[in-house]
Amino acid sequence: MGRRKGMHIGKTRVLGLLAVASIVASACGNSTATPTGPAASGATKVPSTSASSATGDTYPRAETLYTTGKQWGAPSTWNPLDPNAAMGVVGLQYETLFLYDPLKDVYTPWLAESLGTWDSAKTTYTVKIRQGIKWTDGQALTADDVAFTIQLAKNPVLGSNLWQYVTDATAPDASTVVVKFNGPAYQEWAQWLYNSPIVPKHIWDAKNNADILKDTNPNGVGTGPYMYKTHADDRMVWVRNDNWWATTALQLTAKPKYIVDIVNGANSVALGELLQGGLDLSNNFLPGVASLVAGGYGVTTYYPKAPYMLAGNTAVLVPNTLKAPLNDAAFRKALATSINTDDIVTKVYGNIVQKADATGLLPNFSKYVDTAQRDALGFKFDTAKAKSQLAAAGYKDVNGDGFVENKDGSPLKLTLEVPDGWSDWMAAETSIATSAGLAGIKIDPQHPTYDTVVADRNGTADAPPKFDLIINNDIQIGNTPWTWYDYVFRQPLQVGAAKNRNFESYSSKDAWDLVQRLDKTPVEDTATMKTLTSQLQKIQLTDMPVIPLWYNGIWSQVNNSVWTNWPSDGGNQVLPATWNGYWQMGAVMMLTQLKAVPPAS
């Protein structure tokens, strides 16, 4: 899921909003402005940024859903095995065995007929495949396709660790898949079941080689509710699969005939498009949404008031624990206590985000929070307490400039890096530096290029990470708190391009052992999961390897002029996002719940 950025908008009337749109800061990624949208009714040509990108096709407005928020560049691959595939490839075109609803913590059999079963030894998993499903080329989906997809993960190009704990996957008959394990990683397997698209063996068997990810797979063969229609530099277009199996099996029908996903351009243009009805759903970060919701523009959000958005991931302050004084847990706790996160929530984000729990766990994992322990060990903003914590740990203002020095009296000045142009994070880093400075911790906000931040963060085999402090939010909402603890405590430490966990370079054998035990706990054994997460929280809250700040929102603003009955806290409680990974977390149900607004008489 990409980052979404912008500036606050102060006007509350349509004309005022459109007038200031030209001075709103542009989003990161593709800098081409989103084109002017079609009117609210009638058959219209899909808008185009340039003649070279025009598809030349027309789509009836009343049958077309216009979205934006996922694509930050021209669609370039429709390979379901590529994490950079175009919007909708996984979820709309290729489907998974199950859907997982993180709001209700429920798995729904999808391509699977029912929930899978484990044998008594918990080393063999059997799942039945739903019958009557056909690929869009007319061939039947069978258990062979599922077993093949699991076997496909052996291809080293795909970078999967599935076969570190899977030992065999077979299809004894057309409807049964049997998977054997050696020391099952239950938490990871549970993720695979709803995150990994099933592909047709009769097509992908021939593609299973070192070049498998080089195949862009346009016009691919899937089982989902939509098929590839066309694309251009500024859009991805899907057309409904009227032979979708779920219509008969589950009485579900995708309501829009076409989905046109516009490549992200400027936030200002996306805002104008949303207000005019040219966009139906924007998953971009658009501050000032409170004015839109309250202003009578037909724009709504998941919640009708603050925080407006569901929580999608946790933004954390990451200290480089390989450097002094950030290698000192007492200093890290004082730093956490010095940060006024409430100011970030209210002044930077205008209350469209929530302050994170001290454990960092997202709200959907609240049942795993040991609240008594958190309240005893957790941190809260308190400048006076931060000062006393620093003094007790040996950090004092030696030269009288208002900032503490290191224990040996040497200057203490930290840098905080966020990518240039990420306007909300740049404002947040300034807020962090200001509040930490009041406690005596000197922080210099810096915003180099994104690539520089990544290089400084990851380091290499020959050079350790260069940063002091960064902000990161890589771990998304999902089915298990294991992903959060794997992110915080992963061992062994990674370096270079492969680094995607434990950016702080913190090492704790006890914590990593607990993370591995959690991974090997069945997801239905919540009692054991709570015991293990409580122990992990004790280590985290004591040593403070990362500092949770706020929950980034699942940005979602909708216009109700063409389509209505959107997901909301008061009705259809599913995820309202087009981002990769979200369709199979229930967002596909949004398309079956939408209602077309009758044309004006």
- Express each pLDDT in 215-259 by its tens digit: 999 999 999 999 999 999 999 999 999 999 999 999 999 999 999
| Tokens standing for residue 119 | 């044998």
- pLDDT band at residue 183 using 50, 70 and 90 as cut-offs: confident
| Tokens standing for residue 243 | 């032979």
Q: What pLDDT is attached to residue 288?
A: 84
Place of tokens 């990994």: 196
CA nearest to 273, candidates 51, 111, 35, 482: 35
Whether 90 contacts 225, CB under 8 Å: no
CA nearest to 273, candidates 297, 257, 306, 296: 297
What φ, ψ does residue 533 adopt, rounded to 5°?
-65, -35
Kindly tell me if the per-residue pLDDT of 305 is higher than 70: yes
More confident residue, 39 or 288: 288
Cβ-in-10-Å burial (0-12, 13-18, 19+) of 277 comes to buried
CA separation (Å) from 582 to 93, 349, 575, 594? Answer: 13, 23, 7, 17
CA nearest to 88, candidates 588, 595, 596: 588
CA nearest to 297, candidates 11, 596, 7: 11
469-472 sheet: strands from edge to edge? 354-355, 547-553, 311-319, 469-472, 414-417, 443-446
Mean pLDDT of the chain: 90
pTM for the whole thing?
A: 0.88
Distance CA 132, CA 141 (A): 8
Kindly tell me if the per-residue pLDDT of 32 is higher than 50: no
Q: What is the mean pLDDT of residues 563-585?
A: 96
The kind and range of the H/E element at 509 are helix 509-519
Distance CA 591, CA 601 (A): 26
Count CB-CB contacts under 10 A for residue 293.
Answer: 18
Distance CA 363, CA 102 (A): 10
Name the DSSP letter for residue 37.
P
CA nearest to 392, candidates 328, 444, 322, 469: 328
Alpha helices (H) in 120-195, listed in sequence order? 143-152, 186-195
- pLDDT band at residue 82 using 50, 70 and 90 as cut-offs: very high
Q: How far is CA 107 from the centre of its chain?
A: 19
Query: At 373, which amino acid appears?
Result: Q
Whether 44 contacts 50, CB under 8 Å: no
**Cα first-last separation, the chain:** 41
Q: What pLDDT is attached to residue 45?
A: 34
Q: How many CA atoms lie within 13 A of 60 on its CB side?
A: 6
Query: At 113, which amino acid appears?
Result: E
Q: What pLDDT is attached to residue 43?
A: 32
- Express each pLDDT in 110-160 by its tens digit: 999 999 999 999 999 999 999 999 999 999 999 999 999 999 999 999 999
Cβ-in-10-Å burial (0-12, 13-18, 19+) of 400 comes to exposed
Query: At 95, which amino acid appears?
Result: E
Whether 6 contacts 267, CB under 8 Å: yes
Kindly tell me if the per-residue pLDDT of 25 is higher than 80: no
More confident residue, 168 or 268: 168
Count CB-CB contacts under 10 A for residue 184.
Answer: 22
Distance CA 287, CA 4 (A): 10
Q: What pLDDT is attached to residue 549?
A: 98
- Express each pLDDT in 1-24 by its tens digit: 334 333 222 322 232 333 323 222
User: What is the β-pairing status of strands 469-472 and 414-417?
Assistant: parallel
- Express each pLDDT in 492-544 by its tens digit: 998 888 789 999 999 999 999 999 999 999 999 999 999 999 999 999 999 99
Whether 508 contacts 277, CB under 8 Å: no
Whether 5 contacts 426, CB under 8 Å: no
Helices 423-438 & 329-338 angle (0-180, nearest 10):
110
- pLDDT band at residue 292 using 50, 70 and 90 as cut-offs: confident
Distance CA 385, CA 451 (A): 37
pLDDT above 90 coverage of the chain, percent: 82
Distance CA 203, CA 594 (A): 33
Structure-derived torsion over alpha carbons of residues 46, 48, 54, 57, reported in degrees to the nearest 10: 10
Distance CA 406, CA 395 (A): 6
- pLDDT band at residue 56 using 50, 70 and 90 as cut-offs: low
Alpha helices (H) in 27-185, listed in sequence order? 143-152
Distance CA 36, CA 502 (A): 43
Kindly tell me if the per-residue pLDDT of 323 is higher than 90: yes
User: What is the β-pairing status of strands 354-355 and 311-319?
Assistant: unpaired
- pLDDT band at residue 599 using 50, 70 and 90 as cut-offs: confident
Q: What is the mean pLDDT of residues 91-118?
A: 97
Distance CA 66, CA 506 (A): 44
Q: What pLDDT is attached to residue 482?
A: 97
